[in-house]
Amino acid sequence: MTYSCYDIVKVPFPFTDRQSSKNRPALVLSVDKTFNSPIGHSVMSMITSAKHSGWPLDTQIENLMAAGLPSPFIIRLKLFTLDNRLILAKLGQFASADQIAVEQRLKTLFCLS
């Protein structure tokens, strides 16, 4: 199965201090046609409920229903690439307002205009 930009997916996140992982939501940021399908990997951003350790450019997800998330979460621009075969499920899709907010922060992060 392929996933598109702004899909919310469930993926195994490794713990940095252990040899185990936990299933967590992530935001797909790469485009299926030009990257995800040809390469077999997707670029993603972390989704977390942790508010105690804020990062610059953290973005609150406003439309939780569309995203398929049960409680408040933030997008943390902790980016990674993951083999598409490791994606466990699609949870939802970012609403337009949430997409715009993340696009603005990505432009700031990567100095895109």
CATH architecture, range 7-110:
Roll (2.30)
Is a pLDDT exceeding 70 seen at residue 17? Answer: no
Q: Tell me: the pLDDT tens digits for 20-76?
A: 788 999 999 999 999 999 999 999 999 999 777 788 999 999 999 999 999 999 999
| pTM attached to this predicted model | 0.91
What was the pLDDT predicted at 2?
Answer: 85
Residue-wise DSSP of the chain: ----TTEEEEEEEEPSSSS-EEEEEEEE-S-IIIIIHHHSEEEEEEEE---TT--TT-EE-S-HHHHT-SS--EEEEEEEEEEGGG--EEEEE--HHHHHHHHHHHHHHTT--
Q: Hey, where are the domains in the chain?
A: 7-110
Q: Tell me: the pLDDT tens digits for 76-113?
A: 999 999 999 999 999 999 999 999 999 999 999 998 87
